[in-house]
Amino acid sequence: MMTRDRQSPKCASPALPRARQHGRRAFQLCLMSWLVVMLLVSTPLVRAQDDPAGQQTPDTNLPASNDQADESDQDTGTPEADPEETPESTETPQAAAEDADSSAQTSLIISGTDPGSPAVLAQGLAFQTGDQVVWQVRDITVADTAAAQPEASNAAIVLQREGSSIIRNDVTAKRALLGPGEAYFKAAEDLYTTAAQGGSSGIWVFEVVVQADVADDAFYESPIVDDYDEGTYDLQLIRYVLQPDEQVDIPPHTGTALLMATAGEIDVEDERGLQVLSAEDGQLMAGTGTVLNAGSAPAEFVFAAFGSQVDDSSTGQAADPATAETPEASADTTEAPTTDEAADEAPAEDTTEPTDDGTYLASINVTALTDLYVTITVDGVVAFDGPIPSGGSSGAIVGSVFEVYTSSGTNTLFTDACGSEFYMGYAEGEESYTLTANADSCAP
């Protein structure tokens, strides 16, 4: 006869024919024991999931005991952090006010997240004399590289309207490439050469000038402005793009600003009333105002304005252009005059006496802005012939007639005996130049 395994008699099946009642009791006791064991095992797991201490990150200060943790669970805040944050919170309003005041003194306060998505396209420091002036906007068709000529500039901002242009500062030899919608700040009195890149190119130039100097190619001339005090200001050109029914406030500014529509149609309203501007229409804004796009398509406008006045002493007083090169000039003279003396005596020092044969003497120093090959012939004699690495120079060479060959005209910088720097041409390739000393040349 087969027998069952009897190793666990208390949990035997109640279906066995013998000891039925005892087996049933044993089964119930076994089931209850199993339930109790499962309850005891699951309870800590549930507590662990509900315990807030288990959710704290390593950076959080853990409570010292479970009792403290239970008390913190009943709190609605985090009192432990309050004592440490209180000193900072008492200083925050003052610090924020100081930061806001500091920002307001340096530039117009705008944000790209403001209505109209304003963006500062270009900015730079511009000096105003305090005289009566006008805003002018010039529309210029840019010549190609071969026909491009250097031009002395006022403090101005160039806005690329169509095509692409390369603008070169002929003083620093640094260049910038502008595409449609991009802008560039020109410093006053520097020479710039602007050339079309890859086809036709058109730019607008925004600047403040005296009325007598308004250019022939200016398509916009403002009424006279007389509210700029003498000083240096942060000149900015800001672009706005208005969606249909979108309205913006004019940002704060110093003195009278210029608002000009560049695409679409806009409604401009200030204390004088409502004006409707189409592309190429401009309007002066003396104070606050609003601009609305009442049309069904996006509209654009630019805002040319001065920010707060800048203290020149913050970066040191700028040198007078007439005496800025005096330190370099001292290398070619036996005495280095003071700034005031150099300004007073400049005409006499810039004039050289003729030699016995009636010719005049001068000196030149050639500096390479990239690796060059240069030949300098002075009065018929080769004085220098060889390569000049980028940043290197030939050294000062004295004579009357200088014949200079260079492998790249646009990368050849000349310096005379007075320390003045200049270019003889702007061709990218080989060039030959002849320089002849005269009565106005600086004495070596």
Do 376 and 268 lie in one domain? The reply is no
Do 308 and 339 lie in one domain? The reply is no
pLDDT of residue 114: 82
Structural domain that includes position 354: 326-436
Domain boundary among 285, 313, 341: 313
Domain boundary among 279, 313, 347: 313
Q: How far is 158 from 167, CA to CA, in rounded Å?
A: 9
> In the structure, what pLDDT confidence band is assigned to residue 350 with cuts at 50, 70 and 90?
very low
pLDDT of residue 69: 40
Q: How far is 43 from 217, CA to CA, in rounded Å?
A: 88
Do 215 and 297 lie in one domain? The reply is yes
Judged against a pLDDT cut of 60, whether residue 235 lies above it is answered with: yes
Judged against a pLDDT cut of 90, whether residue 139 lies above it is answered with: yes
Q: How far is 378 from 380, CA to CA, in rounded Å?
A: 5
Query: Which residues sit opposite 157 in a β-bridge?
Result: 185, 206
State the amino acid at position 259 in one-letter form. L
Q: How far is CA 258 from the centre of its chain?
A: 21
Residue 281 domain-assigned? yes
Residue 94 domain-assigned? no
Residue 14 domain-assigned? no
pLDDT of residue 107: 55
Which residue shows structure tokens 């007439």?
322
Residue 38 domain-assigned? no
pLDDT of residue 52: 43
pLDDT of residue 349: 45
Do 357 and 296 lie in one domain? The reply is no
> In the structure, what pLDDT confidence band is assigned to residue 311 with cuts at 50, 70 and 90?
confident
Give the total number of structural domains in the chain. 2
pLDDT of residue 113: 76
The CATH number covering residue 280 comes to 2.60.120.10
pLDDT of residue 56: 42
Long-range CB contacts (< 8 A, 24+ apart) of 312-319? 312/232
Residue 277 domain-assigned? yes
Do 306 and 344 lie in one domain? The reply is no
pLDDT of residue 109: 65
Residue 98 domain-assigned? no
Judged against a pLDDT cut of 80, whether residue 53 lies above it is answered with: no
pLDDT of residue 38: 67
Contacts of 427 (CB under 8 A, 6+ apart): 408, 409, 410
Q: Give the mean model confidence (pLDDT) for residues 285-291.
A: 95
Residue 28 domain-assigned? no
Query: Which residues sit opposite 124 in a β-bridge?
Result: 235
Q: Tell me what percent of the residues of the chain surpass a pLDDT of 70.
A: 65
Question: If 0-12 CB within 10 Å is exposed, 13-18 middle and 19+ buried, where does residue 74 land?
Answer: exposed
Per-range mean pLDDT, top range of 3-17, 252-266, 341-355, 405-419? 252-266
Do 308 and 338 lie in one domain? The reply is no
pLDDT tens-digit series, residues 22-50: 556 666 666 776 776 666 655 554 444 44
What are the structure tokens assigned to 173, written together? 């030899």
pLDDT tens-digit series, residues 267-276: 999 999 999 9
Bin 147: left if φ > 0, else alpha if -120 < ψ < 50, else beta: alpha
pLDDT of residue 51: 46
Do 242 and 385 lie in one domain? The reply is no
Q: How far is 307 from 289, CA to CA, in rounded Å?
A: 17
Q: Collapse the DSSP code of 102 into the 3-class scheme (helix H, G, I; strand E, B; otherwise coil) and give the result.
A: helix
pLDDT of residue 191: 92
pLDDT tens-digit series, residues 97-136: 444 444 444 456 677 778 888 999 999 999 999 999 999 9
Do 143 and 286 lie in one domain? The reply is yes
Which residue shows structure tokens 């004295």?
398
Residue 36 domain-assigned? no
Do 269 and 340 lie in one domain? The reply is no
pLDDT tens-digit series, residues 191-220: 999 999 988 999 999 999 999 999 999 999
pLDDT of residue 412: 93
pLDDT tens-digit series, residues 158-192: 999 999 999 999 888 899 999 999 999 999 989 99
Do 256 and 370 lie in one domain? The reply is no
The residue with greater pLDDT, 310 or 249, is: 249
Domain boundary among 286, 313, 340: 313
> In the structure, what pLDDT confidence band is assigned to residue 71 with cuts at 50, 70 and 90?
very low
Which of the residue ranges 184-193, 337-346, 356-365, 430-439 would you say has the lowest mean pLDDT?
337-346
Do 178 and 300 lie in one domain? The reply is yes
Do 407 and 271 lie in one domain? The reply is no
- The mean pLDDT of the chain is 77
Q: How far is 381 from 246, CA to CA, in rounded Å?
A: 72
Judged against a pLDDT cut of 60, whether residue 85 lies above it is answered with: no
Q: Collapse the DSSP code of 318 into the 3-class scheme (helix H, G, I; strand E, B; otherwise coil) and give the result.
A: coil
Q: Collapse the DSSP code of 156 into the 3-class scheme (helix H, G, I; strand E, B; otherwise coil) and give the result.
A: strand
